[in-house]
Amino acid sequence: MATPRGDTVPKPIQQDWVNREYIEVITVSIKKITDFLNSFDLSCRSKLAVLNEKLTTLERKIDYLEACVTKGETLT
């Protein structure tokens, strides 16, 4: 059965469209949040790796200085 041109779409179908649009908005929002979190994770890991390298260098320098002080050597 075809519906005449002037008729509106049945209520259940309209509600289904609304639900699908709502689900699509939520899905897109979740994807955007996921992309942001993945990007943030990579950025943090990179910055933490650089910080770790700097800390390792400082620890080595401190170890050297402690060894010098323990042996009574002067820094020149």
Asked whether the whole model's pTM tops 0.75, one would answer no
pLDDT at 73: 67
pLDDT at 58: 98
Q: To 5 degrees, how large is the angle CA 4–CA 20–CA 37?
A: 160
Per residue in 48-63, pLDDT (tens digit) is: 999 999 999 999 999 9
pLDDT band at 30 (very low <50, low <70, confident <90, very high): very high
Q: How far is 52 from 6, CA to CA, in rounded Å?
A: 70
